[in-house]
Amino acid sequence: MNTATEQTAIRSIRPKVLFQLIESRFPDQNVGFKVNIPSPDIGGMTLLESSVLVSLARLIDARSLFEFGTFMGATTLLLAENTPPDAQVVTLDLPDLSSSQLESDQSSVLTDGHANDAFLTRRFAAQGARCIRRAQASVQSKVQQVLEDSMKLDVVARGYENQFDFVFVDGGHAFSIVQQDTRNAYRMIKADAVVVWHDYRSTIHNEVTTFLDGHAVGRRIFHVANTMIAFELFGRFESLLDSFL
């Protein structure tokens, strides 16, 4: 009997595939990256996920990056610290909302996607992107924070059309938000680019998985095993993985 996993159009690759690509791309270098100790808070990236994100950015030499969902800014910082000095990272999160819009059942924050999202948003509203605040000036200057509901994002008015090498979709996890952020991501990328999603196969945010499994039909979207990262390559990067498949 087929399992749901076997039915998806999303192909799973081992993280090693990306690391082998890094080896062959930079044969004379030890390729390292700067990462902070992961936050014990929910909503953070694992070390393996961080190394996958940085590998993707390095492989395509990303210099203009966009993140849906800033939260504490841990991944914003990761991307800013591991890209060339002239790279820019734009990161978007919600403007301050009234607390009534953020009510959630505390007991289900770790089991219910909507309660989890409300918790993350409430935490962002209360604390802001503390990782960005604490970063050194040279890193902060690479980051631009935008406070806007991604559902209202006007890609053209913001001047974001065809501007980014790397778009990371990690904002709201409701189906409609991931769908809208993905649509916008496609409008925002340059011809040669990568779109990355977080929370694919999350045990909490099922709607990300449902959206991506449906969306992936007829596309080449990859899931990196042992992570919640999925990605799609565009233009001259489309063939990057061909020798491993």
List of residues contacting ligand SAM (CB under 6 A): 43-45, 67, 69-72, 74-75, 92-94, 117, 120-121, 124, 149-151, 170-172, 177
For ligand SAM, which residue has the nearest CB? Answer: 172
What is the DSSP code string of the chain?
Answer: ---HHHH-SPEEE-HHHHHHHHHHHSTTS------PPPPSSTTPPPHHHHHHHHHHHHHTT--EEEEE--TTSHHHHHHHHTS-TT-EEEEEEPPP--GGGG---GGGTTT-HHHHHHHHHHHHHHH--HHHHTS-HHHHTTEEEEES-GGG--TTTTT-TT-EEEEEE-S--SHHHHHHHHHHHHHHEEEEEEEEES-TT-SS-HHHHHHHHHHTTTS-EEEETTSS-EEEEEGGGTTTTGGG-
Question: Minimum CB separation from ligand SAM for residue 225, in Å?
Answer: 19
Residue (51 or 70) nearer to ligand SAM, CB: 70
Question: Minimum CB separation from ligand SAM for residue 3, in Å?
Answer: 27
Residue (119 or 241) nearer to ligand SAM, CB: 119
Question: Minimum CB separation from ligand SAM for residue 136, in Å?
Answer: 18
Question: Minimum CB separation from ligand SAM for residue 94, in Å?
Answer: 5
Residue (78 or 241) nearer to ligand SAM, CB: 78
